[in-house]
Amino acid sequence: MRPPSKPRALLLPAYAKINLGLEVLGARQDGYHELRTLFQTIELHDDVVVRPRARGLAVRCDHPDVPRDEGNLALRAALELQRYAGVGKGAEIAITKRIPVGGGLGGGSSDAAAVLMGLDHLWGVGLGPAGLQPLARRLGADVPFFLVGGTALGLARGDEVYPLRRQVRGHTLIVDLGRPVSTAAVFARVDRSLTPRENSHTIFRFVSSDLEGLRAFPILSNELERAALEEAPDLADRVGRIRGILNRGGAALALLSGSGSSFFGLFEDGRRAQGAQSALVAAGFIVLRARTVSLDQYRRAWSRSLRARRARGVGNQSRSRHHGDHRRQGHPGRGRKAEGLRIDRV
Ligand code: C5P
């Protein structure tokens, strides 16, 4: 019998996140901020191909704003794992970018998590998502969430992640303002207006079962929005117009994602989302539509990718596609019938 052939390369989807709510409690000793946030993965994704090679690490990406050196978080993820596990082998990483860069959608962090998962498998390290958590934390506050996915609560720096039993399912519109905003600069501005608090009840109320379905969403907000618009005042007018269109179009939630600059709307109804999308496009905005990806769907997407013995045709992934085309790829929602905004127990 022939020994099972080793996979030559893996193609992993690196999904974007939005923050359904974000509260800043205060500054921490380590220079970070104590957060309460609700993360949610969505179908919009980059493609990450990892291919083992004898030695050395390299990253390829056709997006002009993505660094090819150690400023690239995906490359740093590979380095961390190499050092941590004492791996002598190398790898080539190819990233096809679809998630807007510097948009508060966690694209770089998601790419890094995909590299950790892919190389953990290809190099035979075998840490798995739980064992990779400490490495993910060292890379950045959002990286640990991407080892989990779905709807999850983020505490501490946002890097203490608890998947929720209640998974949000709905349709999102992502408005790409094409204007990267520095997360560090936004947090620095927050400090000037911050009244430190011990805790907050809003996110915990959402997480607990005293609010259900659509009633739950209006209590959520993003406490980084004011600081983000102070940091990028040129966006304020557009953000106001976008929020107005999303609210009139029936969004359950319309917020800036993370520290911006992407703005999103969450809808129960796919047709309403489509209507709001048309209105935003008519007003001149760039809009991506994506369904939410639940914890279950996220896990299935990982296991499908990691099981693929040989990712056929992965060498062709550098062919860039139009932003919205992710809807036609093998994302976890494919073939799923259109659903409303539901909160499912998993
Ligand atoms: O961890 P990451 O590199 O993604 O964070 C970027 C910057 O955002 C940090 O350098 C820090 O200034 C700020 N940040 C923060 N508190 C958090 C998360 C991020 O102050 N909880």
Q: What is the pLDDT of residues 318-340, one digit of tens each?
A: 333 333 333 333 355 444 443 44
> What three-state secondary structure class fits 82?
helix
Given 17, 47, 111, 120, the catalytic residue: 17
Domains located in the chain, CATH noted: 10-331+338-345 (3.30.230.10)
Q: Cα of 157 to ligand 1 centre, how many Å? A: 8
Q: Are 143 and 321 within 8 A, CB to CB? A: no
* Percent of the chain scoring above 90 in pLDDT: 75
| DSSP three-state, residue 259 | coil
Cα 297 to middle of ligand 1, angstroms: 28
How far is the centre of ligand 1, averaged over its atoms, from the C-alpha of 344 (Å)?
Answer: 31
Going by alpha carbons, the residue nearest to atom 19 of ligand 1 is 32
Instruction: Report the distance separating Cα 129 and Cα 50, nearest Å.
Output: 17
CA 325 vs CA 17, 77, 99, 288: distances in Å:
17, 27, 12, 9
35 lines ligand 1 (CB under 6 A): yes
Instruction: For ligand 1, say whether the CB of 136 is within 6 Å of any of its atoms.
Output: no
37 contacts 19 by C-beta, under 8 angstroms: yes
Range of lowest pLDDT (1-5, 167-171, 193-197, 231-235): 1-5
**In 10 A of CB 179, how many CB atoms?**
15
The vertex-137 CA angle with 255 and 203, nearest 5°, equals 35
Mutate to test the pocket of ligand 1, among 25, 32, 34, 181 (most ligand atoms within 8 A of CB): 32
Token pair recorded at residue 230: 């102070």
Question: Strand pairing partners for 126?
Answer: none
Band of residue 4 on the pLDDT scale cut at 50, 70, 90: low
DSSP run (H or E) holding 115: helix 107-122
Residue with tokens 């999850």: 152
How long a stretch of residues is the chain?
Answer: 346
HEC string of 195-257? CCCCCCCHHHHHHCCCCCHHHHHHHCCECCHHHHHHHCHHHHHHHHHHHHHHHHCCCCEEEEC
Give the pLDDT confidence of 18-36 residue by residue, as tens digits: 999 999 999 999 999 999 9
Query: Which atom from ligand 1 is nearest to the alpha carbon of 31?
Result: 20
Active site residue 17: yes
Q: Which helix (H) or strand (E) holds 184?
A: helix 183-193
Task: Kindly report the number of other CB atoms within 10 A of residue 82's CB atom.
Answer: 19
**Cβ(171) to ligand 1 under 6 A?**
no
User: 119 and 174 in contact (C-beta within 8 Å)?
Assistant: no
Q: Is 142 a catalytic residue?
A: yes
Does the pTM of the predicted model rise above 0.95?
no
CB 107 within 8 A of CB 73: no
Residues 6+ apart with CB under 8 A from 88: 55
Task: State pLDDT tens for residues 117-162.
Answer: 999 999 999 999 999 999 999 999 999 999 999 999 999 999 999 9
Reported confidence tier of residue 309, pLDDT bands at 50, 70, 90: low
- Give the model confidence (pLDDT) of 153-162 as tens digits: 999 999 999 9
Q: Which atom of ligand 1 is least distant from the CA of 187?
A: 20
Our CA angle for 132, 159, 327, nearest 5°, is 80
115, 108, 103: which is closest to 186 by C-alpha?
103
